[in-house]
Structure 1
Amino acid sequence: MEASSSAAAVREQKRQREGGAVPSMAAGKAKYKYLSIADALKAPGFRVCIFATVIEIGAAFRSRGTDFTLTLRIADQSRTSGISVTFFANNPGLLPCVRSSGDVISLHNVEIKLLHGEYFVTFNKRLSSFALFGGMVSTEFTPYQISMKHHGSELDNQILTQMRLWLVYHPPGLKDLELQLWNIKSDSTFDLVCKVLHVCQAPSGEWIFYVWDGTDTPATELQTLLDTEAVTPTPLHPEEVPLPREVLCTLPCVGTVLRVFSNRFSKEILHLQKDIYWARFCNITCKQEFGMWQGSLLPSSRIRLLSNEDGSVVERLKTYDGRFATQVHREPMASLHKTSNITDVEFQRAGYTTLMESLTHGEVTHKFKTLVRVVAAYPCQGKELHSLLTGDYCLRLTLEDPTARIHAYVHKDDAVSFFGGFLTLAALTRKMNRLLGVPEPEDAEEGIAGGRNPPWIWCCLKSYRLDKYDPWGSRRYRIFGTEIRD
């Protein structure tokens, strides 16, 4: 009898470890005992059932063997920081395909493990199963993806409703740390939900992510020193080598494409190189270099892939669609209600064109009207400018808008009309300082001259080529039909 009892105990222990969450049956319906994540952590090595929300979505990869693997992070009321769940399957189509962070997952017969002091959940492809449900905005009780061997429980709808009610007041992610490009700040850490348009490795070995969310980065304050332009011209882009034209032409023409730099390889790069994904860059930082924004991944930064149906993604696409629908809202966000009237242009009725729209224009020659800031000029001193009006010199201006930076030239034939006539040295200097945002002497005396903030101005540009055998490589811009007012 004692031997029989011992054998039964061994069988029960084995059943709990290998399939302890097998449902009991009552009136033909399956019953599962779902544990909170906190309670499940008290049973490492045992198979349990969990209902939780997905707060982070990983990417599918081939494991060291023949399987494919995917990691999600799930949370519930008992453990809002969450816990990782690792899935394995023979092919990627059998792995969970989560539409949006905040969706709900039902897990059956998964095992809690402890490694290096950290708990995680493992999914056994033979014994475990899952079902995915819409999150807090959904009213459907039918899962949108269900694995083989998964059977619903009579309590599923009740638990799903409770989970969705909790999500209404506790949405996944820390929204107070989530920024968009239009309100980023220097040297602060934040999360950025963005579309990853391109990934490449720089000659220095750094990885560069080209990301976009449909908004514009803030206009930066520039250094007052301008005498270095002759030796070291203001750079046109943060990266060492400009993008090839075929890549450049795939970028959006409205909204800033931010360069995010990383000195380490991450497994998400393999996915991001193959296709265009939305992603959440967690705990990144930004700084200004030469008046241009650039992001950086920190040692603690993470990249989480998002689906196009993620709530944050849908929100950003809706905002961009509203912006793109009107001509005025396509203009630089920093210029709204701040456009100066210090220039007159010939094309008064012409529409607005971004610099990126011209850079990606199908023909080398292109005439358009744009709204830009003059971030640098060479020459910029009154004496040299005066020689420009009477000699064979050329003025080079560095223009920027939220989409790009270019060099544009004022040729000798256009110089007189650009400055509004043959002016004195003092008048030329005053007009150039207004374009460059150089503070007036009285402001400098009051301590206001910490830097330059060039005004937004309208100007007319046209592109041309220097070499017919290399039209795109020799493409240049010149300013025409534009006059600086007194």
Structure 2
Amino acid sequence: MEEAAAPERERDRKRPRDGDMDPSTSAGAPPSTAAAVAGASGEAQYVYLPVADALKAPGARVCLFAAVSEIGAAVRSRGTDFTLTLRIVDQSRASGISVTFFADNTALLPCVRSSGDVISLHNVVITMHHGEFFVTYNKKFSSFALFEGKASTECRPYQCSLKYHGSKHDNEILTQMRMWLVYNPPGLKDLELQLRSIKSDSTFDLVCKVLDVHEASNGVRILYVWDGTDTPVTEFPMILDSKSVSPPPLHLEGAPLPREVLCTLPCVGSVLRVFANRLFKEIPHLQKGIYWARFCNITCKQEFSMWKGILLPSSRVRLLSNEDGSVVDRLKLFNSRINTQIHRQPMACLCSASDIADVEYERAGYTTLMESLTHGEVTHKFKTLVRVVAAHPHRASDLCSLLAGNRCVRLTLEDPTARVHAFIHKDDGAKFFGGFLTAEALTRKMNRLLGIPEDTEEGAPLTRNPPWIWCCLKSYRLNKNDPWGTRRYRIFGTEIRD
């Protein structure tokens, strides 16, 4: 009996008691225990190794209690099994270690609700491959249980494998792990940005909803991602050619999306195009449905003054559930945004909307360009808030010709949701410019719309930043046999002030 009780006394010696906790680590550091033993009563007593200590025992079966920091996708292995990889962390190893699971079907694999949840692993094996340690879960003798990571009085797992059996000490370890997570959430939160905060030529993490995946003709995959916020406004090259302004493209992907796909995109908030030159194993899952995902080590740049996301060779994609803390935060922010009409407007102009334009539909509500593009009818009248990013033609003589009724002008308009071309026809030209003006006055008004400063002498800025203006638009069709393919926009009821 003395020999049987010795291992249990050894375990108790290594487990810190509440009264023995160092005040400096009272935020709930996970207990440091050594190995799995059998108690005197015959009940299994699981002693959980810190991850760092487990690495010292390659080939041995160990038990771990850690937090999930990254969630992979379930895929079919080279054999008949399905496999899933998680990354787990604890106080002893902030960089964590990967755990690879194998099961006969995906229902037997862990289904982690949120990064930061806690996992208990029994009888897993520390192995090494290409000089790197990782944990292998053997479906024949390993077992697991998943617990919520947030502080809670609930200690029951929300998922566990058939062979999993907890012990009476697990609740204490779980509570301490949750306390540690409060002060040490997994992931590099300082590098996690929202679309409204993305930056050019830097790497960061993005948590976004993947709305669609499109494969371009050159084999590049384009992921359409959204988080409910607006990408930052971009500046445009200064106009050096006085004859015209080359219109920027409306789409980074070249051809517009099919209407049935376009109509699935949100009408508020920017949809970022993320380009992937190689196949990530999570992408086939993203192609089958709408997922939230964490894009780790992603970068962005501006192309044609539009934001373009790029997945690097070092990037990773991690699937997230709707219950993940980062996902919940973004959905709360978006729901609060769309609850009021003013917050649906572009984030960049909430405090700086220009007053250089008057519109007839003063009392009409605000409509985004995407709301009009996905409107159920071809013809649509609405009031919107946009920037004039290009004009064709731009010469004063051509603008005077517009007022004379001899031609029309095409403006390229954008808001956080889309870009469109809109025409000013002869009947609306005089209204738009505020009367029959001199060539000099017309040029001055057009320059204000395009964000061209009055001082264009040497040393002037090389970029321009068009102001936000209210504008009335209506759509129409050129061919009744192809209404959507020949849909166009026209500016009406809008006047630019002096």
TM-score class normalised by the smaller sequence: over 0.9
Q: Could you tell me whether the CA contact under 8 Å between 2:209 and 2:290 is conserved in 1?
A: yes
Question: Does the 8 A contact of 1:21 with 1:109 survive in 2?
Answer: no
Structure 1, unpaired ranges of 5+: 1-19
Partner of residue 472, structure 2? 460
**Residue in structure 2 matched with residue 300 of structure 1 by the alignment:** 314
Residue 465 of structure 1 aligns to which amino acid in structure 2? R
Match of 1:133 in 2: 147
Partner of 1:71: 85
Query: What is the Cα deviation at residue 233 of structure 1?
Result: 2.8
Q: 2:443 is paired with a residue of what secondary structure? A: helix
The amino acid that maps onto 1:279 is A
* Structure 2 contact 379–475 (Cα < 8 Å) conserved: yes
- Structure-1 separation of matches of 2:140 and 2:242: 67
Matches of 1:44 and 1:169, distance apart in 2:
30
TM-score w.r.t. length of structure 1: 0.93
The amino acid across from 1:451 in the alignment is: T
Which deviates more, 126-135 or 226-235?
226-235
Say if 2:35 and 2:49, in contact at 8 Å, map to a contact too: no
Aligned residue among 159, 176, 185 for 2:190: 176
CA contact (8 A) 2:276 2:311 kept: yes
Q: How far apart, in 1, do the equivalents of 2:181 and 2:450 lie? A: 50
* Residue pair 2:99, 2:135 contacting (<8 A) in 1 also: yes
1:57 is the counterpart of 2:71: yes
Partners of 1:217 and 1:402 in 2: CA distance: 7
Give secondary structure in 1 for the equivalent of 2:146.
Answer: strand
Structure 1 position 162 matched with structure 2 position 176: yes
Deviation of residue 392 (structure 1)? 2.2
Q: Deviations over 1:263-319 (max 9, x none)?
A: 111111100000110000001111111111111111111101111100000000000
Distance 1:230 1:469, change over 3 A: farther
Task: Give the stretch that moved more between structures: 400-409 or 227-236.
Answer: 227-236
| Amino acid corresponding to residue 34 of structure 1 in structure 2 | Y
Matching residue within 415, 418, 428 for 1:414: 428
| TM-score, length-scaled by structure 2 | 0.91
- SS of the equivalent of 1:358 reads helix
Q: Retained in 1: the 8 A contact 2:381–2:472?
A: yes
Name stretches of at least 5 consecutive residues in structure 2 with no aligned partner.
1-33
Given that residues 36 and 63 in structure 2 are in contact (C-alpha distance below 8 angstroms), is that contact kept between their aligned partners in structure 1?
Answer: no
Question: Secondary structure in 1 aligned to 2:84?
Answer: strand
**How far apart are residue 23 of structure 1 and its match?**
5.0
C-alpha separation in 1, matches of 2:430 and 2:242 = 25
- The answer as to whether partners of 2:424 and 2:491 remain within 8 angstroms in 1 is yes
* 2:325 aligned with 1:311: yes
Aligned partners of 2:244 and 2:391 also within 8 Å: no
* Match among 334, 340, 354 for residue 320 of structure 1: 334
Deviation at 1:136, TM superposition (A): 2.6
Aligned pairs for 1:342-421 (under 5 A) are 342-421=356-435
Counterpart-to-counterpart distance in 1, 2:458 and 2:401: 33
1:225 matched to 2:236? The reply is no
- Judge conservation of contact 2:451–2:464 (CA < 8 Å) in 1: yes
Aligned residue runs from structure 1 range 82-481, under 5 A: 82-225=96-239, 227=241, 232-441=246-455, 444-445=456-457, 447-481=459-493
- Deviation of residue 206 (structure 1)? 1.1
The letter for the 1-side match of 2:491 is I
What is the alpha-carbon distance in structure 1 between the residues aligned to residue 215 and residue 120 of structure 2?
Answer: 39
Distance 1:213 1:83, change over 3 A: same
Deviates more, 1:63-72 or 1:318-327: 63-72
1:230 deviates by 5.8
The residue identity in structure 2 corresponding to 1:118 is E
**What is the aligned-residue RMSD (CA, Å)?**
1.5
Counterparts of 2:91 and 2:219, CA distance in 1: 43
The answer on whether the counterparts of 1:51 and 1:104 sit within 8 Å (CA) in structure 2 is yes
Counterpart amino acid of residue 474 in structure 1: T
Aligned residue for 1:473, secondary structure, equals coil
**How far did 1:241 drift?**
2.1
Q: Deviations over 1:327-386 (max 9, x none)?
A: 000000001111111111000000000000000000000000000000000011211111
SS of residue matched to 2:236: coil
**Preserved CA contact (<8 Å) 2:245 2:390:** no
The superposition leaves residues 30-79 of structure 1 with CA deviations (integer Å, 9 ceiling, x where unpaired) of 31121111111111111110000000000111111111110000010111
Whether the 8 Å contact between 2:275 and 2:311 is mirrored in structure 1 is yes
Q: CA deviation at 1:101?
A: 0.2
